[in-house]
Structure 1
Amino acid sequence: MMMQENILFDFNKNTNISKWRIVDDVVMGGKSSGNFRLNKEGFGEFSGKVSLENNGGFSSLRYGFDKKRISEYSKIILKIKGDGKAYQFRIKKDRVDAHSYIFSFQTQGNWETITVELSKMYPAFRGRVLEIPNFSSNFIEEIAFLIGNKKAENFQLLIDKIYLE
């Protein structure tokens, strides 16, 4: 199957998810635990438990890839099904950057299409907004989802497709 140029990731029952990785607050001593798997319908399922113990409070799912030119696009479209909780969608222009560019969204508990305007994604590092311009690069190397709502909670986010528009 030919991958279309604008698709960042399209989940199905035969998808290889080995390049997706969980990064939880355990990197800073926290106790949150995220998981990622393909569910029986072939959707990516990011789920787990956010804990506030030991100053924790987040779980993230990251996908790094070869530098992708995005200059002809202005949006990223997320086809997802959340659990009614708030999440962040994040991108990095270079995987080695400490900061990410962030778009926050509230899920509704059903399948929905979320439009992320690239130019509105703001830079942040460890929860602090940085005083540099919003996203304006022609390339990205990483996309991520993060939950960190300053409360202990279970979560589940199903992902169908992520593409550029």
Structure 2
Amino acid sequence: MQTLFDFQSAASASHWVAVNDVVMGGESLGRVEITGGKLRFSGSLSLANNGGFASARAREQHFDFSDFRHVLMRVRGDGRHYQLRLATDARHRGITVSYGAPFATTAGEWIIVRIGLDSLTASVRGTSLDGPPLDVSSIREIGLLINDKAAGSFSLEVDWIAVE
């Protein structure tokens, strides 16, 4: 196992930002905080104005996952469903392609989420694509997304993110 983020240092957390549906006219509010050695992704999801997503993203990354098969995360959630998202330099009609897989949380409990890199599916702005395939040697962004179509507050804590 190789740890990518442990949130114990400023360097581990420095690239994480929130990106919400307000970029498309929505009203969701998601924020990213690093406190007590944990990443906290929280806020409120709104379905107004065709909205309904909030995300936390670590941009400007340069990871090669060629020697790995899974992403692992230790998380404590609120019982809602989230997604792991990866991005490379792949584009569809000039827009960055995201590769995602869903995961469930158990309210108030720390769990280990294990997602196979081969289970990630391509999409652009929520629309599924048949490709391009994920280039695991060129990961440029790692993120978390909530878009479960349920308005209201959400909270996800992340202790660490690793690959195996």
Q: Is the 8 A contact 1:30 1:51 kept in 2?
A: yes
Q: Is the 8 A contact 1:95 1:141 kept in 2?
A: no
Tell me what 2:50 maps to. Answer: 55
Deviations 1:28-83 (A, max 9, x none): 011100111123x3211100000111111010000023422111111110111111
Mark the CA change 1:95 to 1:161 in structure 2 (over 3 Å): closer, same or farther.
Answer: farther
Tell me what 1:78 maps to. Answer: 73
Tell me what 2:21 maps to. Answer: 25
The 3-state SS of whatever aligns with 1:11 is coil
Question: How much identity, in percent, do the aligned residues show?
Answer: 36
| TM-score, normalised by the number of residues in structure 1 | 0.89
Tell me what 1:68 maps to. Answer: 63
| TM-score, normalised by the number of residues in structure 2 | 0.89
The amino acid across from 1:159 in the alignment is: V
Tell me what 1:126 maps to. Answer: 125
1:7 Cα deviation after fit: 1.9
When the two structures are aligned, how many residues end up with a matched partner?
A: 159
Tell me what 2:100 maps to. Answer: 102
Deviations 1:71-128 (A, max 9, x none): 1111110111111000011001228761100010110121000101001101011212
Mark the CA change 1:66 to 1:52 in structure 2 (over 3 Å): closer, same or farther.
Answer: closer
Q: What stretches of structure 2 of length at least 5 have no aligned partner? A: none
Q: Is the 8 A contact 2:88 2:97 kept in 1?
A: no
Q: Distance in 2 between matches of 1:132 and 1:99?
A: 9
State the 4+ residue runs in structure 1 displaced beyond 4 angstroms: none
The amino acid across from 1:69 in the alignment is: D
The 3-state SS of whatever aligns with 2:49 is helix
Q: Is the 8 A contact 1:121 1:134 kept in 2?
A: no
Q: Distance in 2 between matches of 1:156 and 1:33?
A: 12
Mark the CA change 1:103 to 1:7 in structure 2 (over 3 Å): closer, same or farther.
Answer: same
